[in-house]
Amino acid sequence: MKLHEKLSLIQSEFKAKKSRFNNFGKYNFRSAEDILEALKPFNKQHGVYFTVSERIVVADTEFPIMESIATISDGTDAIQAIAIVGVDLAQKGMQMPQKFGSASSYGKKYSLGNLLLIDDTADADATNSHGKGAINRTIPGSGNAFGKTKPEITDANIDKAKKFLANGGKVETLQQTYLMSADILNKLKNG
């Protein structure tokens, strides 16, 4: 079974409980840890593993931006989903590690949610402003920080990517810069 088929099965079978309670907003929500714990049985069952990696993509502003990448892999192919979150350095009542940890937790939760098609639109955690006004900041040169997307390599533009590789470029560089399906990745790796 191909990786995208395994992911589709997992997406349809996956359930993660909202085991956390927000006392301020009076609602239940699921955390990244809840999602990761609920994924563990699928690893062995489908011969896959999940990882989440993070990096700072904009650091030289008052509002650092983190990119969280959730990946499912079967050892041969990989499929990724991305979430972008900001670190509110002006947040009162938190030490600096807590500010980054909070942003990291949100990034993990939403990148996993994107990968697994978890619909949090009805989740109060997704809609609650936590007593604050809406934040509308942008990443320089990329539009809204919460809507940032990467361009995608498809069959229609794969020739440019192949030319990049023929000139000494690396597949890993393409993976960091572009979205691509497992099928496209396989085509790039195998010529």
Tell me whether residue 39 is exposed, middle or buried, using C-beta atoms within 10 angstroms of its C-beta: 0 to 12, 13 to 18, 19 or more: buried
Segment 21-35 shows an average pLDDT of 83
Residues 65, 114 within the same domain: yes
Residues 40, 131 within the same domain: yes
pTM exceeding the 0.75 threshold for the entire prediction:
no
Residues 44, 85 within the same domain: yes
Residues 178, 141 within the same domain: no
Residues 117, 130 within the same domain: yes
Residues 24, 53 within the same domain: yes
pLDDT at 54: 95
Residues 120, 41 within the same domain: yes
pLDDT at 120: 59
76, two tokens: 């041969």
- What is the rounded distance in angstroms from the CA atom of residue 145 to the CA atom of residue 148? 6
Segment 12-40 shows an average pLDDT of 85
Residues 121, 155 within the same domain: no
124 C-beta neighbours (distance < 10 Å), count = 14
Residues 177, 144 within the same domain: no
Question: What CATH number is attached to the domain comprising 28?
Answer: 3.30.390
Residues 126, 52 within the same domain: yes
Total number of domains constituting the chain: 2
Task: Tell me which range, 74-78, 115-119, 129-133, is most confidently predicted by mean pLDDT.
Answer: 74-78
Residues 154, 166 within the same domain: yes
pLDDT, tens digit, 9 for 90 and up, residues 119-163: 755 444 444 444 433 333 333 333 334 444 567 788 888 888 887
At a CB cut-off of 8 Å and minimum separation 6, what does 81 contact? 69, 70, 111, 112, 114, 115
CA–CA distance from 180 to each of 94, 123, 153 (Å)?
A: 37, 29, 5
**Is the per-residue pLDDT at 16 higher than 90?**
no
Segment 75-94 shows an average pLDDT of 91
Residues 86, 50 within the same domain: yes
Can you give the residue range of the structural domain that contains 87? 3-149
